Structure 1
Amino acid sequence: MNESAVYWSRMLTELTLSFHILYATIGVGVPLMIMIAQWTGYKNNDEHYILLARRWARGFVITVAVGVVTGTAIGLQLSLLWPNFMQLAGQVIALPLFMETFAFFFEAIFLGIYLYTWDRFESQKKHMLLLIPVAIGASMSAVFITIVNSFMNAPQGFDMVNGELVNIQPVLAMFNPAMPTKVAHVLATAYMTSAFVLAAIAGFRILRGSTHIYHKKALYLLMKLGLIFSIATALIGDFSGKYLAEYQPEKLAAAEWHFETGKDVPLVLFGKLEDGEVKYAIKIPFALSILAHNNPRAEVIGLDQFAEEDVPPLYIHYLFDIMVSIGMLMMLVSLIYVVAKWRGWQFIYRKWFYWIVVAGGPLSLLGIEVGWWLAEVGRQPWILRGVMRTAEGATTSGQVDLMFLLFCGVYLVLGVGSMVVLVRMFKKNPIEREIAERQAEKGGDIL
């Protein structure tokens, strides 16, 4: 085993996934936002929502392009960096990988038709129907690739005899115990994050002095959607906790710094480990027992039940805390905004509140990042839990460190380039100009 190759393979995979997941999340969530905006515009005969859909679709194309590049890089790296893993697992879980590619082509075909037929349909309803396969294709891409990740956490659908795989059942492998909660969590967080990122853009335009009702309508729509999907994310997170308690108790125990098996277990938030003791933490009585088993008196398995070499890194506790804190904060902010809008409270129009909304965009993306780090690091030391350790699946090449540096350069160019293109795209065609053009086309006032 080449320890250096294992280390750099993990670093490069983490780098690629961390970069890709931002664009992938937007790529999954934004099509649904576009569809909802266009449907709202059609239903209410409101041109502002039609413009929302049209402008979001333009920006969405850029994120799709970068997502394709980084997604391809992940596929290559799976084969190059983890050849032993792919040789073993590829026999079982190749089906969803193929289906993910098909789902992307399905999305891309209808996205192209949608983008180039804006002015070909007299009825917005007929044009809007093209978004249905786009949204389905984007979401199904996430579903199929998440199924692969679920299989890594709960492998099934095969038997291991003398180091060889036999009785392979690809469909059974796809519908593993981790699949329902992981797929649901990925979709809900993608929709939630996309809503808050777009809301942050609307809030920023208002802070920059725009008085167009277009941005205010966008913000209200997106905060409502963000609230809905943040609540869904919290509920699915509760199911995820129960899954971990049943199937991956070592991951739950490491994330919660639960060292000794026992009953009436509190939930530990933040804190610090000193000589094996948890200090300065916030402890919520009975909460971990409730999270794990819906029973405040239930017994929760601790790290004392596992060999030291099978225990995930304990720093995942902080990843869990950050992820949960961001999710709860965004749920609270969106709830306050929606209630205040309904009640007519004026503080939500103050600059300080708009800055909170703007901060919600990058915070949501950070929540996505730490959530995936928690998912992947929390499975260690296994690449295929209970079957293959991470070190056993890695390449033995001594050139991975050089590849890491090269990909850093590639992702820097892609990241900066995509942001420059998006900013220039919308600066050269500001909403004021587009509203004026639409007003001239319609022969009326849409302000």
Structure 2
Amino acid sequence: MLFEDPVIASRFLTLLTLSFHIIYATIGVGVPLMIMIAQWIGIRKNDEHYILMARRWAKGFVVTVAVGVVTGTAIGLQLSLLWPNFMELAGQIIALPLFVEVFAFFFEAIFLGIYLYTWDRFEDQRKHFLLLIPVALGAGMSAFVITIVNSFMNAPQGFDIVNEQLVNVNPIVAMFNPAMPTKVAHVLATAYMTVAFMLAAIAAYNLIKGSNHVYHKKALYLTMKVGLIFALAAALIGDLSGKYLAEYQPEKLAAAEWHFETAEGAPLLMYGALNENNEVKNAIKIPYALSILAFGDPTAEVIGLNEFPAEETPPLIVHYYFDLMVTIGVFMIVISLIFWIGIKRGWTFIKARWYRWLIVLGGPLSFLAIEAGWWMAEVGRQPWILNGIMTVEEAATSNKHVGLMSILFLLLYIVLGIGTIVVLRRIFKDNPVEKELEPLQDGDNTWH
């Protein structure tokens, strides 16, 4: 059977766990910021709708945090069990951010608990708002330090290997590697963007289903605006990421773009298919765009994939992950930009059912873009687990029972996923906005 190979089974289980955990991790990073923004606006404008947004979002957030703890713990265990040789080496170098991540999580969880249990305990809501600052900082710090570990895997430094012995270890140099700035910035920006569009999708869905409450209109306006800001930020950081790849991991960039021959003024390829001779068919070619993405110069030379040994060439499927990520990102920028301009110009079609369905679609699509981005990052580093130093096969366990573990964890994630949906539906279905707030007079001015 396929899973009898422990390397393949280990890769599958890691992929499964990371793909499931990234959903909860993204929510865990993005929701605290959205709660902060909503509560701050509510305090500043003395608007009970925004205060209620913060309160309701916080209720749902607790559920996802609980599941995120389970999946995060699973990742920690799997790193040691599935990739022991990697942890034996990397653990001596990059253990510091892993320790800081635990501290950041407890920092976040403690203040989140205090925040949740002190609603209505403060006469001055600004004091209650202050409790959100360490929650958001803890969430952001968790993403920061974990992404540093992934950055180290892509650009390892801060150590030497002499006679197969690890020497001259410097954890600080290892943490602040060349991949760190763009990876951390991209992870944070896309997390905030995705959560904003997720909350926008919920608001739009409620409006479609007939709830014309001003609360949902305000929620939609706020989340679409925040989503647009971070979608544009993610696009800018993505451009910087392309320039990092061109300098430090040119084989990943070449694989993502199916760029086989070194050439000047290289076009960027979107979509298409490869034949048996690795010839690209039916792709959309954007002239000079790959050279611009790589070096900011339309005439720059971009190294082709044929320059690298075949055994070090990343899987060409990463091209589709790149296409998916970029397509969804552009779609969300367009949808949110039109929405924002439409509010200012009074375009009525942005209130139409069909347009709100596009916004609803943007919620799951944004999470799919997050997944595609991580698949590209991880698959694009193949065959290396530690770029240029240790391959995946060298790092993996030799245990023959990983396949069984994969099945058990798959069942666990199905239960956790379904359980999350059921609990969240019960929480909000039994406590609709109309039940928590007296209906207010509706009008166009309630969009602002």
Give the TM-score of the pair, scaled to structure 2.
0.97
Shift in CA distance, 321/437, structure 1 to aligned 2, threshold 3 Å: closer
SS of the residue 2:269 aligns to: strand
**Alpha-carbon distance between aligned partners in 2 of 1:51 and 1:4, rounded to the nearest angstrom:** 52
Once the two structures are superposed, residues 208-257 of structure 1 have per-residue CA deviations (whole angstroms, 9 ceiling, x without a partner) of 10010000000000000000000000000000000000000000000000
Residue in structure 1 matched with residue 86 of structure 2 by the alignment: 85
Residue in structure 2 matched with residue 429 of structure 1 by the alignment: 431
Residue of structure 2 aligned with 1:289, choices 288, 291, 301 = 291
Residue in structure 2 matched with residue 445 of structure 1 by the alignment: none
**Alpha-carbon distance between aligned partners in 1 of 2:212 and 2:333, rounded to the nearest angstrom:** 26
SS of the residue 1:165 aligns to: strand
**Alpha-carbon distance between aligned partners in 1 of 2:214 and 2:120, rounded to the nearest angstrom:** 24
Residue in structure 2 matched with residue 395 of structure 1 by the alignment: 397
Residue in structure 1 matched with residue 54 of structure 2 by the alignment: 53
Residue in structure 2 matched with residue 369 of structure 1 by the alignment: 371
Residue in structure 1 matched with residue 338 of structure 2 by the alignment: 336
**Alpha-carbon distance between aligned partners in 2 of 1:385 and 1:298, rounded to the nearest angstrom:** 25
Residue in structure 1 matched with residue 13 of structure 2 by the alignment: 12
Checking the alignment, whether the CA contact within 8 Å between 2:85 and 2:396 is kept in structure 1 is yes
Once the two structures are superposed, residues 47-102 of structure 1 have per-residue CA deviations (whole angstroms, 9 ceiling, x without a partner) of 00000000000000001000000000000000000000000110000000000000
Alignment of structure 1 residues 202-351 onto 2, 5 Å: 202-274=203-275, 275-351=277-353
Task: Return the letter of the residue paired with 2:134.
Answer: P
Gaps of 5+ in 1: 439-447
Are residue 39 (structure 1) and residue 40 (structure 2) matched?
Answer: yes
RMSD: 1.2
Once the two structures are superposed, residues 124-143 of structure 1 have per-residue CA deviations (whole angstroms, 9 ceiling, x without a partner) of 11111110110000010000
Alignment of structure 1 residues 398-409 onto 2, 5 Å: 398-409=400-411
Task: Return the letter of the residue paired with 1:243.
Answer: Y
Cα distance, 1:437 vs structure 2 = 10
**Alpha-carbon distance between aligned partners in 2 of 1:437 and 1:236, rounded to the nearest angstrom:** 42
Cα distance, 1:262 vs structure 2 = 1.1
Are residue 190 (structure 1) and residue 191 (structure 2) matched?
Answer: yes
SS of the residue 2:438 aligns to: helix
Once the two structures are superposed, residues 147-194 of structure 1 have per-residue CA deviations (whole angstroms, 9 ceiling, x without a partner) of 000000000000011111100000000000000000000000000000
**Alpha-carbon distance between aligned partners in 2 of 1:226 and 1:386, rounded to the nearest angstrom:** 37
**Alpha-carbon distance between aligned partners in 2 of 1:48 and 1:57, rounded to the nearest angstrom:** 14
Residue in structure 1 matched with residue 116 of structure 2 by the alignment: 115
Once the two structures are superposed, residues 402-437 of structure 1 have per-residue CA deviations (whole angstroms, 9 ceiling, x without a partner) of 000000110001000011000000111111110039
Cα distance, 1:119 vs structure 2 = 1.0
**Alpha-carbon distance between aligned partners in 1 of 2:11 and 2:387, rounded to the nearest angstrom:** 16
Residue of structure 2 aligned with 1:355, choices 346, 357, 361 = 357
**Alpha-carbon distance between aligned partners in 1 of 2:365 and 2:128, rounded to the nearest angstrom:** 34
SS of the residue 1:259 aligns to: coil
Residue in structure 2 matched with residue 64 of structure 1 by the alignment: 65
**Alpha-carbon distance between aligned partners in 1 of 2:291 and 2:420, rounded to the nearest angstrom:** 45
Once the two structures are superposed, residues 364-419 of structure 1 have per-residue CA deviations (whole angstroms, 9 ceiling, x without a partner) of 01000111000000000000001100000000000000000000110001000011
Task: Return the letter of the residue paired with 2:164.
Answer: G
Residue of structure 1 aligned with 2:386, choices 384, 388, 396 = 384
Residue in structure 1 matched with residue 414 of structure 2 by the alignment: 412
**Alpha-carbon distance between aligned partners in 2 of 1:3 and 1:180, rounded to the nearest angstrom:** 39
Task: Return the letter of the residue paired with 2:207.
Answer: I
**Alpha-carbon distance between aligned partners in 2 of 1:245 and 1:300, rounded to the nearest angstrom:** 8
**Alpha-carbon distance between aligned partners in 1 of 2:280 and 2:151, rounded to the nearest angstrom:** 31
**Alpha-carbon distance between aligned partners in 1 of 2:384 and 2:390, rounded to the nearest angstrom:** 6
SS of the residue 2:385 aligns to: strand
**Alpha-carbon distance between aligned partners in 2 of 1:259 and 1:437, rounded to the nearest angstrom:** 61
**Alpha-carbon distance between aligned partners in 1 of 2:367 and 2:43, rounded to the nearest angstrom:** 30
Identical aligned pairs, as a percentage? Answer: 70
Checking the alignment, whether the CA contact within 8 Å between 2:199 and 2:223 is kept in structure 1 is yes
**Alpha-carbon distance between aligned partners in 2 of 1:218 and 1:125, rounded to the nearest angstrom:** 21
Give the TM-score of the pair, scaled to structure 1.
0.97
SS of the residue 1:354 aligns to: helix
**Alpha-carbon distance between aligned partners in 2 of 1:424 and 1:318, rounded to the nearest angstrom:** 37
Residue in structure 2 matched with residue 444 of structure 1 by the alignment: none
Gaps of 5+ in 2: 441-448
Task: Return the letter of the residue paired with 2:33.
Answer: L
Q: Which of 333-342 and 428-437 deviates more?
A: 428-437
Checking the alignment, whether the CA contact within 8 Å between 2:213 and 2:439 is kept in structure 1 is no
Task: Return the letter of the residue paired with 1:108.
Answer: A
Checking the alignment, whether the CA contact within 8 Å between 2:4 and 2:400 is kept in structure 1 is no
**Alpha-carbon distance between aligned partners in 2 of 1:417 and 1:301, rounded to the nearest angstrom:** 48
Cα distance, 1:3 vs structure 2 = 7.6
Task: Return the letter of the residue paired with 1:410.
Answer: L
Cα distance, 1:276 vs structure 2 = 1.5
Residue in structure 1 matched with residue 444 of structure 2 by the alignment: none
